[in-house]
A and B are shown apart, each in its own frame.
Chain A
Amino acid sequence: MTSRGSQSHGGQVRRKAHVCAGCADLTDSGPTTRYARRALLRAAVFDSPVFDGHDQEFWAYRPPRAATVVTGVLAEVTPRAIVVARPDGDQFIALSPSTVTWLGAKVSPTALRAGDPVIVRRRTHRLIPGSPPADGDAGPGPGPAASVAERIWARIGRVAGEILEVRGRELLVDTGQHGREPERVVIAEASLRHVQVRFPRLTPGYLIDVIGTRRGDGDLLAVTPATAQPPYLAAHPPAPPPTGAYSGGPISGAAVWHEPGDERADLLGVGYAALDPETEGGSVAPGDAAHQHEPCARLPYLSLGSAVQVRNECADRAAVLPVTSCSASARQFCDRCVKCGTSPRVRVADLTMAAFVELGGNLEDGCFNATLTLAG
């Protein structure tokens, strides 16, 4: 969605042991192709039933399809509508008085500018009952449909990881993703106190997770904390619970989101903390293995392409999504989400932005309480 520049601080950057061993392999070999094919191959063995009815009637290899989310770049902004440029053509989305626009804070839609990368949650209105559908995006029933924006997020970004360096309000953060340079975060002056309330230790070695807007140079201008700071050093996370704590059933915790990075902006998928190290981890040197973090909860080993059901407990919406990446933040952060009630201290799903919004989450909130169930 946004192009992120790579910065370094004059060679003083320390490269940490990668939290997710094997992420490099996943990106290098084209995970999309691999996991899509795995779904097909798995179906050839188990022949999972697939229903040809509505979108929610699947539990296997039929891919998720965004019903309410549009991602792209703003091509035009008028007082009554926006036009979002997408690879498959421009999308016209009407604005209403109830449309909420976020650009570092809640703003008027007129604050948006052409060229801003946006993600929009929309609702569809039927215009003339009885006439043919306008396009394939229309919901059930006849008649042309118009999209009305419920929420618009522009230039939104997020950085989660270990603080490497601090220079005033500027931080250098290692996100733990293999092959990624550390990210530079600038905390907005007006937000510094707010961020420090939730992240009191803005010192190297501790974790930070902030949300803000992407600047032209790719840096993140942090305006709000995404969560509260875990009390431990990134290199010394708490030990995972004993295996007896694993019940085999649904796993409750927090669902967070991450920026697309190398993924497609509209991808519906999950970053997962417990990818099988034997098949997805690549070759791990013994020294590196010692530095790998265990997830904060006992999670069953999965691979790219595995299907999981993620339920937003706050919005009571659920979807079956493929595992599309490994999640460094889900391994590093043993924290809770308190969006609706208090979740257990684990990030069970690190959703793509489109999936997070599709499930009813608001990006600026950072998380929602979620339940993860293995599908398939």
Chain B
Amino acid sequence: MVFVGGAGVLAIAREVQIPLLAVLLIGGFAAKARRALGARSIDAGIGPTGLFPFRLQRPAAIVICVSEFGLGVGLLVTAGRIGVGPPAVAVRAATFVLFCTAVAALAELRSRRPDVGCGCFGDVSSTPVGWRTITRAALLGAAALSTIGVPPLHMLGSLDQSGQALAVTVAELALLAVLSPEIGELMVRLGRAEPCELRRVPVAKTLDTLWASTSWRRYQRYLITTTPTDVWREGCWRFAVFPGILASRRVEVIFAVYMSGRHAPIRAGVIDIDTPPATSPSSRYSSLTVYRKSAILKNKINISSNGPG
């Protein structure tokens, strides 16, 4: 029996990261490709591309997909003796950079588009980006960093080593599962339970969720009434609007409640209704009023609007 110490376990853990990262990258690419084929658009549903101007979204989506596939294949190819040396280091370093970029992009996405998912694994990554998704990307970045300098992979020499490699893999997959909102989405689909977009949810239940939230407690003192003036729904999000007074100005406080059950993300925003937003000089093509971002920002009260989610 071969005794494997702490250093040995660490070495095995580093070796395990290479195939694990490769599988995740290729899996992510495959899921994105499946969605792109379904939508007939390469940039459909890939969350962070929404941060780019429209004309750059498609190239950005292509870069993401190609990077994932290329690095996934590259990790596998250079795992053995073929790419020993600079090629292996380059691929692993590039993987590390990819996940570091992902962490930054997801944090930015969560800030700018808190309503969209990361799109990491196509359709099943529709849950709004949260700390779990960002932590997962950071964890994978650390895993990629740990692979730099790992010698070529070889067959494990003993049953103990194999058992430890299996244990490390299972533990890491379990951790990734905990950090992956996609698992819940997959369970819903496999269990044929109704996705939240299709579920009828009474308004009273949404309001109960809202009233129990920290966002509500934060804004409640500004509200004139606890009866919403308008309630509507967009997929998994339900919106409720309440009139209020803030700094002697009439405002409207808008809450968005994600209808996914317990610990639902809740977002809030406040607008000043005494200063109407700029409208289009010509509305002849549509009866909609034109709202530009500058007008929104001008009228938005400067209060942190992030909820607990």
What residues of chain A have their CB less than 8 Å away from a CB belonging to chain B?
Answer: 32, 34-53, 56-59, 61-66, 86-88, 136, 242-244, 246-250, 263-264, 266-268, 276-280, 298-306, 311, 313, 322, 371, 373-374, 376
Contact = CB atoms under 8 A, between A and B. Distances in A.
B154 interface: no
Nearest to A35: B288
Contacts of A248: 123-124, 126, 185, 195, 197
Contact of A276 (B39, B233, B292): B233
Interface centre among A244, A299, A301, A371 (most CB of B within 10 A): A301
A41 B239 contact: yes
B126 A266 contact: no
Interface string B281-308: 0111111111111001101100001000
A361 to B, nearest CB: 18
B201 A278 contact: yes
Given A44-B254, A64-B286, A279 B233 contact: yes
A303 B123 contact: no
Q: In which size bucket is the chain B interface?
A: 35 or more
Interface of A is mostly: loop
Given A246-B195, A248-B197, A298-B198, A51 B54 contact: yes
Contact of B198 (A45, A52, A246, A266): A246
Given A46-B267, A88-B284, A62 B290 contact: yes
Interface in B188-245: 189, 192-195, 197-198, 200-203, 230-236, 238-239, 241
Interface in B36-77: 38-40, 44-45, 50-51, 53-55
Interface string B116-141: 00000011101000000000000000
A244 B192 contact: yes
B14 interface: no
Nearest to B203: A278
A268 B286 CA distance: 6
B291 A87 contact: no
Contact of A302 (B44, B234, B297, B300): B234
B289 A46 contact: no
A313 B230 CA distance: 36
B115 interface: yes
B241 A41 contact: yes
Contact of B200 (A39, A47, A277): A277
18 contacts: A32-B288, A40-B289, A40-B291, A44-B271, A45-B115, A47-B296, A47-B297, A51-B54, A57-B53, A64-B285, A65-B286, A249-B44, A249-B122, A250-B39, A278-B203, A280-B233, A300-B236, A376-B234
